[in-house]
Every structure is written in C-alpha cells, then in structure tokens.
Amino acid sequence: MTTDEITDLLTEAYISEHETIMNYQTNAIVLDGVHAEEVKTSLEEDVQEELDHARMLGERLKQLDESPPGSAAFEASQHSLQPPEDTTDVQSVIDGVLEAEDNAIELYRSLHEAAAEANDPVTEDVAVTILADEEAHHTEFRGFKKQFPQD
Ligand SMILES: [Fe+2]
Ligand SMILES: [Fe+2]
C-alpha cells in the first residue's frame, strides 16, 4: 500500500534529481584546467544516470496514480553546487557533488524505509536501485577528492 509519505518522498526525489542534472551539466561545461577533464567527463556520465533516476521516480508516481511535478513546484537547494566564480576551482565542485550525493543517499534510504514499512516492494526496489547508483557516484567523487591532498 502506498502512503502520502511515499508519494511525497518520490516527488521530492524527482525534483532533486532535476536540480542535480542542471548543476552537474552546468559544471561539466564551465570547469577549466588540467585537473578538470576527468571530473567533467564523470559529471557528463552522471547526468545520464540522474536522468534515468528521474524517469524511474516519475513512472513510479504515475503507477501510484500521482503525477510527477512540473517546474512550478521547483525549489532550489543545492547552494554548494553553483558554478564556481573561479572556473578552475574543481575542488569546490567536488565538495558540492559529495554533499549532493550524501543528501541523495539519505533521501533514498528514507524512501526505502517508508516503502518497507508500507509493504510496497516495488517502491523499495526503485529506492535500492537508485541508492546503489548514488553510492557509486559518491565513491567516485571521494576518489577525486583524494587527488587534492591540501584539504
Ligand atoms: Fe540520482
Ligand atoms: Fe548521483
């Protein structure tokens, strides 16, 4: 059985994936310098995965007889992922990605828990599938951060 908590979390996640897509795409375009290339390529690849996440969440909402939201429902929250003033500041983008992925991991854990409590195994499966991708993104950017030992 679905609950309001589940549809609220699916909606929140759907919006959050779109904000992530916008910020990863923007940073993949704007970063400059010798340390940027690997990060830019990774962000480009992750944009496609975040888009798949949004699609899965939207389709699950549709199955639950709810509509995914349009842009009127959008509220920005990823302040640390705005394109840096210094376009060679790859580290600030890496830190922003780690924060975004931490938040995503927390959100999909909450979704999984709510779905398990409500005996909704299909939403549980969506949550676990996406959670695995977000943990992989986090691991990848934790690796990038190790290339910058000064902090
Ligand atoms: Fe995602
Ligand atoms: Fe991610």
pLDDT for 2-18, tens place per residue? Answer: 789 999 999 999 999 99
Closest listed ligand to the CA of 50: 1
The rounded distance, in Å, linking the Cα atoms of 104 and 52 is 14
Q: Which ligand is nearest to the CA of 13?
A: 1
**In angstroms, rounded to a whole number, what is the distance separating the alpha carbons of residues 66 and 144?**
39
CA-based R_g, the chain, Å: 16
Directed axis angle between helix 90-117 and helix 37-63, to 10°? Answer: 20
**pLDDT surpassing 90 at residue 151:** no
For the chain, give the percent of residues with pLDDT over 90.
93
> Rounded distance, CA 151 to CA 149, Å?
5
What confidence score (pLDDT) does residue 147 get?
84
The rounded mean pLDDT for the chain is: 95
Instruction: Write the burial class of residue 97 (CB in 10 Å: 0-12 exposed, 13-18 middle, 19+ buried).
Output: buried
32 compared with 149, residue with greater pLDDT? 32
Under the banding of pLDDT at 50, 70 and 90, the label for residue 125 is: very high
Is the pLDDT at 87 greater than 60? The verdict is: yes
**Mean pLDDT, range 28-39, rounded to an integer:** 94
| Alpha carbon of 141 to ligand 2 centroid (Å) | 10
Residues in CB range of 22: below 8 A, 6 or more apart: none
Which domains are present in the chain? 4-68+87-145 (1.20.1260.10)
Q: At a CB cut-off of 8 Å and minimum separation 6, what does 37 contact?
A: none
Distance (Å) from CA 41 to ligand 2 centroid: 14
Compute, in angstroms, the gap from residue 80 CA to the centroid of ligand 2: 15
